[in-house]
Structure 1
Amino acid sequence: MKENEIKDKTPMPAPAEAPGEIAKEYKEKTAVIEQEFSNAVRAFDTVITKSYLSELTSYDVVPCTNGQIPNMRWIKVNEIVYEKDEFFVDKMSMLYNALHSSARNICFLLRRGYCKDNKSAVEVFMGTTDISGVNNVSGDILEKGLKGLFPGVSTERSGDIVQELKGSLDKTFAISCVSGVASLREDDKKERFVQGLEKLLDSTNGLKFSVFFVAEQVEDSECASILSNYENLYSAISPMAETQLSFSQSITSGVSEFSSKNFTENVVKSLQKAVAKGTAYSKSHTEHSATTKGNTSSFGGSIGKGPFSASAYYSRTTAKNEGKADTEGRTDSYNLSILEGIQRGLSKGTQQGEGSHRDNQESRSHQITFQNRRVKHYQDLLDKEIDRLQNALPYGLWSMGTYFIAEDDTTATALAGLYKGCIVGDNSNSQVFTVNNWSKHDDKTKDIAQHLLGCQHPRFVLPSNIEVSSGSLVSSKELAIHMSFPQSSVPGILVREETSFGREVKSRAGLNDENAITIGNILHLGEKSTLPVRLSLEELSKHMFVTGSTGSGKSNTIYLIIDKLIKKGKKVLVIEPTKGDYRKVFGGMADMTVYSTRENEKNLLKINPFAFPEGIQVNEHIERLVEIFGVCWPMYAAMPAILKKSIICAYSACGWDIRKSECRHGRLFPTIADVVIQLKKIIASSEYSANTKGDYIGALQTRLESLQTGIYSTILSSSDCTDYEKLYDQNAIIDLHHIGSTETRSLLMAMLVLGLNEWRMSTNDDDMDLPLQHVTVIEEAHNILPRVSKHQSQEGANVLGKSVEMIADVMSRIRTYGEGFIIVDQSPSAIDESAIRNTNTKIVMNLPDGEDCLIAGRAMSLTKDKQISKLSRLATGEAVVWQRGWNEAVLALVDEMSDRVPLKAGDNVSYVKESLRERPSSLFIKRFVKEEALSDEEQKSLQDEIVRAMVPSCVKSELLDVIRHLPSHKESALINSVVRYLGLDVEIIRLFAEYSFVGSLQLKNDLRDFIADDLAIYDTDQQDELLSMVFIWASSQNEMWHKICQDSLPSNPKSK
C-alpha cells in the first residue's frame, strides 16, 4: 500500500506593453504600401480611365511614317432612307459589325461649304479598306451593307476624297479632337432618338468645316487580352478595398491544490486445481493549491508579397486560475481459476483520493474596419468596363476618334463641343470624355493632319515613353452613335422615312403572264426590286378601286391597266367626266371609238334614258330609272312618285302596255319631251297647293326641260341612239368633260351604267360566273356613287341613299356576266363605302387627307398605323396594291405607260347641220295635209321617217296610229301631232313672244314664210291648211290667243 500527496502553487508573470520597435516597423511598411497604392492609382487612371486623353495637347506627336492607306474605297451618300419605327443605330451597328472581320479601319467624312453649287450643302462620305490592304472585300461589304440595311439609300462611288481633303489642309487650319465613349441617354428611347448628327448640322449653317471620323479595328484576341488584364487588375485591388485592425488583451491567474492518499492490500492464494480468493485495499489523498497571474502584450506588423498585400495587429492577455482535488477509492475482487486442473482466485482492492483547483481569466479585444472609397470606385468602373467589353466581343471593338477641321480655332472648338454634347450619354463615364484643341498656329497641327490623311489616329508619346493614340475603345454598337447618318434632311442630303409592306406578291392562285397583268415592281423602303406586281385577271372581274390625289400618278396607272387589258384581248369602256385625257392616250387606236358631246366632233353620243334592250321589262327599267334620277337630282316628298307616274304615262302615250311590256309600234320609246308633257298634265291636275306645285315644277319640270335644249336635245332625245353593241362590246371612250353641269354629267354616267347592266342582262341571261370579258372604267365615280347616309327615317324616305345603294348593287351583281368595273376617284371619303367594299382589287396612291388614308387603309386590311400614314407620303408613281387572295398589301412602283396613240383634233371634225329638224317628205304632205291614201310600201317608208324624226314620241305614236288606220286617234289629237311634228308650235310661240300684239297680218305672213323656207312647202293651199292647223292648235292653248287665231284662219273651206 502507497500514499502520495502533491501540492503546487505557481504565480503568472505581469503583463507588458508593445515594444516601440514593432510600432516603428509597422509605420514604415504602411508608408510603403501607401506609396505603392498611389502608383497603382496612377496606373489605373492611365489604363482604365485613359486620363492621358485630356492632356494630349501637352504631348509630342509621333511623326507619320505609314503614309496613306492603300485601296481605300470611298462611297458618297446622297439620299438616306430609314424604316419607320426601326432604330437606325441598330442597323448602323450591324453594318460596323459586318465590317469588323475584314476592315482595317472605317472612315466617315462629313463636310460643309465645299460644294461649288451650294455652299451650305452637306456632303457625307464613307470609306474602308481591308486589313491586308490588297483586296476590296470590306468595300463590297460596305456598299452591299448600305443597300441591304438601308434599302432605297442613294450612293455613288467617289474618287480619292482624301486628296481633296489634302488640298484644303494645305492652308492654315485648326483641329479639335473629341475622345470618349458614346452612349444612349435613358430618356432617349428608340422612338425618339435625339442624338443624331442633324442636331450638329442644324446649328452650323453657314460654317465651312470638315469632320473626320476614324475607327481602327481592334482584333478579338487583343480585346480578350485587355479583358484578362482588367480581370487581373480587379483581383489585385480587391484586398485594398477594405482594411481591418484588431486589438486584444488577456490576463490569467490560477491557484491549484491537490491531496492524494493510496492504500493497497493484496492477498493471493493459489493452488493448482484449487479456488483462489484475494482482497486488496487502496486509499490516496492529495491536496494542491496554486495561484497564477500573467500579463502578455504583443504588437507586430506583416506585409505580404507584392504591392497590394498588407496586414497589421496588436494584442494583450491577462488570466487568473484556482483549483482543489480530493480522491478516495476501494477495490474488491473475487477470482476463480482452474489451471490444468482446478484453480480458484480472489482479488479485492480499495482506492480513495481527493483534490481541488481554481482558475480566474480576463480578456479584452478591439477590431476597426477601414473602407477605401477610391478603390471601390475603381472596382465599379472595372465592373462596368469588364461587362462592356464582354458584351462588345460579339460585336467587335474599335478605336474611335473624331476630328473637326476648320479655318479658325473658334469654329473647330465650337463644333467639337456641340458634337460632344450630342453623343455623351448616361454610360459615358467609364473613360475620360474630353476635347483637345490644336490651334492653326500650333506646329503639331500639321503632324496630326498627316495622320488623318493616312486615315488613322495620330500617335502621342507620354512622359513614361509609352506611345498612345487619341482613340477610345468602343464597340460596334457604340460606334453607331459616333458615326451615324443625319435623321432628318439637311441641305445636300435628302432623308426619307419609309414603311415596309409585303416583299412579294403571295397569291393562293399562281400568277403568270397568261392569267395576270403586270403593272410594276415591288418597292421596299424606296428601293425598286426585280419582283413584279401582277394582278389576276380573274379578280379584275370582281372590280377594282383606284384612288389618289392629283399628280399622284393615278391616271398613268389606269392607262397602263387599260393598255395591258386591250393587249390581252379584253374590251374596255371608259366613262370620263373630266379632263378628256383618255382620247389623247388611246383615241387614235384603230379599234377605239371616242364618243363626244360636241356636235362638231365625230361620233356624237346619243342615248335615250327611256330606251332599253330586248329582254328587259319596261316596269323594271322604270324602277331603275327613277332611282338614277334620285342619285343625280335632289328629290323629296312625293317627287319620286310624281316622276315615276309621269314616266309611266309617257310610255303609255307612246303605245306601251306596261303590264305586258309591249309596244304597238315596236321599239318606240318615250323621250324627255314626252315625260315633260305628262308631268305638266299631272302637276296641273293634282290637288297640291300652289306652293307645292311651284316646288315640283322647279325641281322636276325645270330640270327635265333643261335637258331638251342645246346639245342635250341631241344627246338625250335622239331616236337614233348609239348601238348598245358599239358602246358596251367594243373599245370605247365616252368623253363627257365638255358638259358643264355636274348634275347632267352624273345623269349621263348613271344612264350609261344602267344601260350597260341591262345590256349584259339581256345578252347573258342564261350565263353566270363568266370570266373577264369587258372592263368599264368610271372616272370621278363620286358623281354616281357619292357617300351618303343609308338611314331611312319616318319623317321621309332617303331617296339619295336608296338610289346609291341600287347602283352599287347593280355593279356588284354585274360581275357574274364577266363585267369588271374600275372605280376611280381622288377621294375615298367621297365614294360610297359599299362600292369600295365590293372591289377585290385596290390600288391606293398618294392621299393627303387623313380620313382618306384611314378609309383606304382599312379597306386593304392595313393594320399598322405607320402603313396607313405612309399613304399620305407616297411619291408620284408609288402605289399600295392589294388583291383578294394576297397575304398582305405591297408597295409598288408603277411602270410608265409610254405607248400612247392620241386622237388628233383635226381627225375628229364633223359637219354641223343648220337644223336638226328634217323637212317633211312628200309622203307626209300627201297623208297628213292632203289626206290621201298611201300604198303599203309608202306607209312603211313614212313610218320609218316618222320614227327617225326629232319629235316627242307621243307625236310619233299618234301619227303612226293614223297611218295604220287605228281608231284610237281624234281629229284634235291629229292636228296637235302634225303641228308639233312640223315645229309650227314652237314657231308661233316664238312669234307671240316677239310681238307685243297678236292677230296682225305680219303674224300670218311670218308663219307662211316659215312654212315655205324651213319646211319647203310652197303650195299655197298646203300652206293655208297648215296655217289653219296651227291657229286651231294655238286657240286651244290660250284663251287670249283664241279670238286672234279665229280671225287669222285662212278662208279655206276645208279648214272651216
Structure 2
Amino acid sequence: MEYQVIEKEERLQFLEEMFESTELKVTESYSYPTIMEDLSNVVLFHIKEVTFEGEEKSPRREAFENVIGMIQNEGVNFIYLILGDKKGVSFYFGLVKESEYDGELPMPIDEMGNNLLKSAIRGNFRGSKIEEVSPEEMIEIFDRMQTNSNNRNRKYASVIGTPGINESEDKKSFQGVDRLVDVMQGDDFGLCILAKPLSKRAIKKIEDDLYQIYNSLSTFSKISLQEGENKSKGTSISKGTSDSVSYGENTTKGTNYSKTSGTSENTGTSESKTAGSTKGTNYSESQTEGKNWGKSEGKNEGTSKTKGWSEGSSSGSSSNSTNKGTNGSGTENWGTSYSENTGTSSSKGTNTGYSNSENMSKTKGTNTSTGTSESKTAGTSETTGTNSSKTTGTNNSASESSTTGSSQNVSKDIINKKAADYVKYIDEMLLPIIDYGKSKGLYLTTTFIFADNNSQLEKLGNTIKSLYSGKKGNKNPLEFEILENNDKKIEYFKNFQIPNCVSYDNENALTLKSHFIENDEVSLGNWYSPNELGLIAGLPEKEVVGLALNEEVEFGLNAKTPEKGEELISLGNLVQSGNEIDTKVYLEKSALNKHIFITGVTGTGKTTTCQKLLIESELPFLVIEPAKTEYRILMNNPKTEDILIFTLGNDKVAPFRLNPFEFFEGESITSRVDMLKAAMEASFDMEAAIPQIIESAMYSCYEDYGWNIDTDENEKFENPYDEGVYSFPTLEDLLNKVETEVTKHNFDDRLKKDYVGSITARLQGLLVGSKGQMLNSRRSIDFRELIEKKVVLEIEGIKNGTEKSLVMGFILTNLCEALRAKYNKDKHFKHITLIEEAHRLLSKYTPGDSLNKKNSVETFADMLAEVRKYGESLIIADQIPNKMTPEVLKNTNTKIVHKIFAEDDKEAIGNTISLSKEQKDFLSSLPTGRAIVFSQGWTKALQVQIKQRTNTTSDENIDEDRLKSRVEDFYIENYKKGIFIGTKYEKITKEQFRLCRKFSTNKEFVKIFKAVFEENVNSFRDFERVMNLLNDKKFFDNIRRVLTNDDENIENLKNKFKEYYDIFSDDLHKTIYAKYYGGLKIQGSTEDNLKKIKRDLKESIITIFNNGDLNLGIDRSYLKKYIQK
C-alpha cells in the first residue's frame, strides 16, 4: 500500500521568520516642524480625578474603549501619557496632528480635543475632573520628556507586540495600570502610547491579507489520504445485434467554497433482495473520446466505515470494475473546481442472452459529526451538445453470470503542527481583533518609554511585558528595545509621531506580527482594537498617588419645573453622575415657610448654603450662631451690607441686652413663664421639684413689680410697656426670691438647703460677667424691630453648652412672640430664622433624660412648627441629624444634605428623603459644595452643586470696630427704650453712649444710682454730673473714711468735702447726701432738700450700704448702729 505525502516547505518558509526578531529601521530623520514650534497642533488634558459607578468598584475598560472610539479621523494621533516622579503620577489624554498628513482636518486640534475627546471623557467617566493643559504647562511637559530634574538627557525605549487579555475575572484586576504605577513609585519615568486610527480601506486590506495567509496555511496544516481496492470477476454470454450512433459536447465551469462541520448521528439496518429474468438480443458498438481537466484544493477530515455483501450471476457479458472513494464527516473544504468535457460516442453490436440474478444487501452503521456549516457557491455552467441515435437489432439470448469480489480501504492524516498553530492563532486572536475593529475602529499603536537610566527602563519595560503579555497562545508577545541616544526614532517619539520603517522581512510574517504595510513601508507599531488599546492605555482600577478615584451614585435629574412668574431662589447647578451640568436648580420661595433642614460636617459647605439662601431670599432674617463668626462676611455683600451683628457674651464688641421676663403687650404672663421654664428644663438637669420652685418664684417676681397674674395688668405702673419704664423683673430678682419660695414649700432643712443651693448655683452663673450684663437687664432689645432687619446673634462668647442652650431658648421665646405681634399688624409679613447647631436646644430624647427635658424639647418643637402661620421660615442647620428631635426632620419640607460620615446620621436623614442604601452610603463621598437636595413637588432627590455667594474660608477679616459702630448706632436710634442706664433721656453721641456703657458695667455705681439718683435725674446732663461724681475716686475714699470714724473725728474731715459742694452741714448724714446732690441743680430751697435727704436717709443708707453685693470696705454693724442714732 502506498501513501502519498504532500509537503511544500518552500511555501511555509515565512513561518520560520516569525521566530526571529523583526528588525524595523527608521532611515529618515524627523524633518517636520516640532511640536514646540507650533503648539496649535497638539492638545493635552490632565486627568485629575476619575469617577466610576458604585457597583463597578473601579473604572470599566469599556468606558475607555468608548472614549478612544470617538477618535476616528485620519491625520490625528491619540496620545496617552503618564509622567511619574517622587510626588506621584500624572495622567494625560490628548490629540496631535500627524506630521505626514497633508489633508485638511475637519476641525482644529484644540476644537477636536474639547468637542470630541474631552466630551467623551466626561460622558464615559462622568464626574471626572479634567483640565486642559495650558501652553506653559505643555512646554514644561515637553521639557520633562527631554531631560530630568538634573538636566540629564532621558533614556528611551520602544515597545512593540500585541498585548493579551486575561479573560478570567480573578486575574482581570492584575492587569491594571495602577500596578505599573506602584512598581515605579518614586521613580522619574514616562510612558507614552500613540494610536493612529486606520481607515476602513486599511482594515479591509489587513483582513484580506490574513485570509490569504489563512487559506495557504489551511492547505498544509492537515492532509487526509484514503486508498481502497475492490476486485470482481464475472462471466457473461450475450448475443445480439444493435446499431447505435451517439455524439455530443459538454462544457462545465464552476467555483465552490464549502466549510462544514456538524454533529449528526444515524443508526439503521437495511435489507434488500431482488430477483429478475431478462431475455433479449442486443448488438452494440461503442467508441468514446474525451478530455477532462480539473483542480481541487481543500481539507478533509472524517471517519467512515462501510460493510456490504453482494452476489450475482450473469451470462452473455463480462465486466471489470474498480472503485476508489472518500467518505467523511466533520469536513472543512475550500477550493476551486474547473471541468471541461468533450467527447464522441459510437456504439455498435449484437447481443443475445438470458439473465437471471438475485441480490441481497444488509447495512448497519452509525455516524457522528460536529461543526459549523457555511457554504458559498458561485459559478458559470455552459453546456452545448448534439445527440443522434439509431438502433436496430434482434435479441435472443440466454445468459448466466457468476461474480466474486473483495474490497479494502486505508485512511491516513498528515498534520503540519506549525501551520496548524498559526491557523489557530489567526482564528482565535487576529481575526477577532479585526472583527472588533471593523465596528469600533482599528488603531496603529506604538509605545515608547523613557527614564533617567537603563536600569529604570529595564524595570519599566519588564513590568509592561509582565502585566500585558496575557495568556498563552500569543505568537507576537510584547518586546521592548532600549534605543541608542542617536536613534532616529527618538525624535519622532518626542513629537508624538509614529515613524515609518524599512523592513526586509517577509510581508506575511509582518502581517502575522500585526504590522501594517502600505506603499512598501512598515509603521513602527501594531494594530490594536479598542479592546487591546484599553488594556494598555487605561485608567487605574485603584487609586494611585496623583489620581483620585471617586465612586458615583445616580440621583434624580428632573426637578419640578417652575411656573411662569413664580418667585424662585437659585441653589446652583444640577449634577449628573458627578458632573456639573448647565441646568439650574431652584427652590420655590413660597415653600420657604414649610421650613428647611440643612446638614453636613464642618467644612463641606453647610454655612455657605445657608448664607446663599439668606441672600437670595431678600427677606429680613435672624441668625442664631452658637459657635462661629462666619456670618460676618455678609457685611461685604451688597444685599446684606446693612446687617446687624451682636456678640452675645462679648460685651466689648457688640453688646446684646435681653431681659427674659419682659413680654409684649397682649402676651400672657403664664405663657411667658411656661416658655422660660421650658428653656431652663431643656438646658439644665432639673431634679424633683426644682422646675416648680422656679416657676413659683417667677410669678412672685412679677407680683412684686405690680403684675396681676390673672389679668396680665400692672397695678404699679400706669404704662408698663412704655419705653424707659422698668416694669419687669430681672434674673437678679429671681435669684433673690429663691430662698423665700423654697421656704414656702415647707421642705425639711436638708432639702431646703439642697434646693436653695442647686437653684442658686444655676442662676448665679448667669449673673456673672458679660452674661450678667446681657441677661440681668431691666429692658430688652425690641424683637419686633429686630425681625424687620437682617440680624446675626453670635453666641460664641458663651462657652458653656448648657448656658448657650438657655440663651437660645430665651431668644426663640422672644422671637416667636414678636412674630405673633407683627403678624397681627401685617398679615403679609415674611421673615427667616436660621438656627445653627439646633441640637443644643432641640436634641432627641434618649433613655436616661428627664421627662422635664423631653417635654421642654417638645414645647419648642411645637412652637417652631406653629410659627409658619405667622409668615416665618425656619432654616435649621446641624452637623448631627441623629441628635435632632425627630419632629424637626419630619416637619421640614426641604432637606439639603452635604457630606456626612456617621452611619446613624445617614440613616436618620436618608430615610426622610427616600434614599437607597447606595445613595445613603454615597453621602460620605460628596465633594465640598455639593449637596443632595429634596424639596416640595420633587419625586427624587437631586445632587446639586451649590453656587457660592460668599467665601467663609477666606482670609478676609471683618474689623470688629465696624460691628461695634453699627450696633452703637442701633442703640442710639432706640435710646428711648432705656436699655443702658443714662441713655433714655435724649439721643446722644457715640462717645456719650460709650460712657453710659462703661458706667453700666460698674455694679456699685448702678446700685447707688438706682437707689439715690434715678428718680431725680431728668436729663442726660444731670446723669452726666452723677457719673462724674461717682467716678471721683477721692470722693469715695473720703466717704469711707467718714463712715468708719467716730463722731469726734468728723470735724477733722469736714474741710476735705469743701471742694465738692457749696452747702455744708454739721450733720454727717446731711453732709454725705449734700455731697451727692451738690452737683445737681435741684429745684427748691436748700432746707427743703436737706429735709428730703434726712427723710430718706435711713432707707437709702440701709439699701445701699447694707446690701451684701456692695462692698465699700466698712464695718457694717457699726454703720447700722450709727445710722439708727
**What is the TM-score normalised by the length of structure 1?**
0.68
Distance between the aligned counterparts of 2:740 and 2:896, measured in 1?
Answer: 50
Equivalent residue, structure 2, for 1:34: 7
Answer yes or no: is 1:435 the counterpart of 2:451.
no
| 8 Å CA contact retained: 1:586, 1:903 | no
Amino acid at match of 1:455: Q
| 8 Å CA contact retained: 2:46, 2:92 | yes
Equivalent residue, structure 1, for 2:497: 455
Amino acid at match of 1:437: E
Equivalent residue, structure 2, for 1:187: 169
Secondary structure in 1 matching 2:112:
helix
Answer yes or no: is 1:781 the counterpart of 2:838.
yes
Amino acid at match of 1:497: N
Answer yes or no: is 1:399 the counterpart of 2:472.
no
Match of 2:786 among 720, 723, 727: 727
Secondary structure in 1 matching 2:550:
strand
Match of 1:576 among 620, 625, 640: 625
Amino acid at match of 1:134: E
Secondary structure in 1 matching 2:175:
coil
Deviates more, 1:591-600 or 1:837-846: 591-600
Equivalent residue, structure 2, for 1:562: 614
Written as runs of structure 1 = structure 2, the 5 A alignment for 1:22-421 is 23=2, 26-27=3-4, 30=5, 33-36=6-9, 39-40=11-12, 43=14, 51=18, 55-57=21-23, 60-63=25-28, 67=32, 73-85=41-53, 87-112=59-84, 122=90, 124=92, 126-129=94-97, 132-135=102-105, 136-137=107-108, 139-148=110-119, 149-150=121-122, 151-158=128-135, 173-183=155-165, 185-187=167-169, 193=173, 195-231=175-211, 234=214, 243-246=223-226, 248=228, 305-306=296-297, 363=407, 365=409, 367=411, 377-384=421-428, 385-406=430-451, 408-421=453-466
Distance between the aligned counterparts of 1:112 and 1:1047, measured in 2?
Answer: 90
| 8 Å CA contact retained: 1:489, 1:496 | yes
Distance between the aligned counterparts of 2:479 and 2:31, measured in 1?
Answer: 26
Secondary structure in 1 matching 2:70:
helix
Task: Name the CA shift for 1:692/1:1046 in 2 (closer, same or farther; >3 Å).
Answer: same
| 8 Å CA contact retained: 1:179, 1:470 | no
Task: Name the CA shift for 1:363/1:639 in 2 (closer, same or farther; >3 Å).
Answer: same
Q: Deviations over 1:220-268 (max 9, x none)?
A: 233234335545655665566665554556566789999xxxxxxxxxx
Deviates more, 1:206-215 or 1:1005-1014: 1005-1014
- TM-aligned CA deviation for residue 774 of structure 1: 0.7
Secondary structure in 2 matching 1:720:
coil
Answer yes or no: is 1:888 the counterpart of 2:941.
yes
Distance between the aligned counterparts of 2:311 and 2:1098, measured in 1?
Answer: 169
Amino acid at match of 2:567: N
Distance between the aligned counterparts of 2:850 and 2:142, measured in 1?
Answer: 81
Equivalent residue, structure 1, for 2:331: none
Secondary structure in 1 matching 2:22:
helix
Task: Name the CA shift for 1:460/1:408 in 2 (closer, same or farther; >3 Å).
Answer: farther
Written as runs of structure 1 = structure 2, the 5 A alignment for 1:640-719 is 640-665=691-716, 667=720, 668-686=727-745, 688=747, 692-719=751-778
- TM-aligned CA deviation for residue 501 of structure 1: 6.2
Secondary structure in 1 matching 2:658:
coil
Amino acid at match of 1:623: D
Task: Name the CA shift for 1:725/1:360 in 2 (closer, same or farther; >3 Å).
Answer: same
Distance between the aligned counterparts of 1:171 and 1:211, measured in 2?
Answer: 16
| 8 Å CA contact retained: 2:931, 2:946 | yes
| 8 Å CA contact retained: 2:682, 2:856 | yes
Equivalent residue, structure 2, for 1:980: none
Equivalent residue, structure 2, for 1:800: 853
Secondary structure in 2 matching 1:615:
coil
Equivalent residue, structure 1, for 2:863: 810
Equivalent residue, structure 2, for 1:1022: 1095
Answer yes or no: is 1:517 the counterpart of 2:569.
yes
Aligned CA-pair RMSD: 5.2
5+ long unaligned stretches in structure 1? 1-17, 259-285, 289-301, 329-352, 927-937, 946-986, 996-1000, 1036-1042
Secondary structure in 2 matching 1:386:
helix
Task: Name the CA shift for 1:1032/1:537 in 2 (closer, same or farther; >3 Å).
Answer: closer
Distance between the aligned counterparts of 2:643 and 2:303, measured in 1?
Answer: 109
Secondary structure in 2 matching 1:707:
helix
Distance between the aligned counterparts of 1:867 and 1:178, measured in 2?
Answer: 47
| 8 Å CA contact retained: 1:502, 1:891 | no
Distance between the aligned counterparts of 2:737 and 2:490, measured in 1?
Answer: 101
Equivalent residue, structure 2, for 1:760: 819
Task: Name the CA shift for 1:1011/1:531 in 2 (closer, same or farther; >3 Å).
Answer: farther
Equivalent residue, structure 2, for 1:948: none
Equivalent residue, structure 2, for 1:977: none
Distance between the aligned counterparts of 2:859 and 2:677, measured in 1?
Answer: 11
Equivalent residue, structure 2, for 1:265: none
Equivalent residue, structure 1, for 2:1007: 917
Aligned residues: 854
Answer yes or no: is 1:506 the counterpart of 2:559.
yes
- TM-aligned CA deviation for residue 200 of structure 1: 2.2
Q: Deviations over 1:429-477 (max 9, x none)?
A: 4551121324537x7x335655775701452413447754442221123
Deviates more, 1:97-106 or 1:913-922: 913-922
Task: Name the CA shift for 1:489/1:368 in 2 (closer, same or farther; >3 Å).
Answer: closer
Task: Name the CA shift for 1:440/1:101 in 2 (closer, same or farther; >3 Å).
Answer: closer
Answer yes or no: is 1:633 the counterpart of 2:684.
yes
Answer yes or no: is 1:839 the counterpart of 2:899.
no
Task: Name the CA shift for 1:235/1:788 in 2 (closer, same or farther; >3 Å).
Answer: farther
| 8 Å CA contact retained: 1:64, 1:451 | no
Secondary structure in 2 matching 1:99:
coil
Deviates more, 1:1024-1033 or 1:690-699: 1024-1033
Task: Name the CA shift for 1:254/1:128 in 2 (closer, same or farther; >3 Å).
Answer: same
5+ long unaligned stretches in structure 2? 123-127, 239-276, 280-292, 316-352, 357-396, 511-520, 721-726, 969-989, 1023-1035, 1045-1049, 1051-1066, 1079-1088, 1109-1115
Task: Name the CA shift for 1:310/1:1034 in 2 (closer, same or farther; >3 Å).
Answer: closer
Q: Deviations over 1:359-393 (max 9, x none)?
A: 76665555556676666644543333333322321
Distance between the aligned counterparts of 1:305 and 1:227, measured in 2?
Answer: 24
Q: Deviations over 1:161-200 (max 9, x none)?
A: 99758955996845242321353542269xx955343432
Distance between the aligned counterparts of 1:692 and 1:212, measured in 2?
Answer: 85
- TM-aligned CA deviation for residue 404 of structure 1: 2.0
Amino acid at match of 1:95: V
- TM-aligned CA deviation for residue 629 of structure 1: 1.2
Task: Name the CA shift for 1:681/1:787 in 2 (closer, same or farther; >3 Å).
Answer: same
| 8 Å CA contact retained: 1:248, 1:363 | yes
Amino acid at match of 1:756: L
Equivalent residue, structure 2, for 1:12: none
Task: Name the CA shift for 1:864/1:433 in 2 (closer, same or farther; >3 Å).
Answer: farther
Amino acid at match of 1:507: K
| 8 Å CA contact retained: 2:651, 2:770 | no
Q: Deviations over 1:856-880 (max 9, x none)?
A: 45555443636743545523x4444
Task: Name the CA shift for 1:156/1:504 in 2 (closer, same or farther; >3 Å).
Answer: farther
Distance between the aligned counterparts of 2:744 and 2:498, measured in 1?
Answer: 102
Written as runs of structure 1 = structure 2, the 5 A alignment for 1:946-1025 is 1021-1022=1094-1095, 1025=1098
- TM-aligned CA deviation for residue 703 of structure 1: 0.8
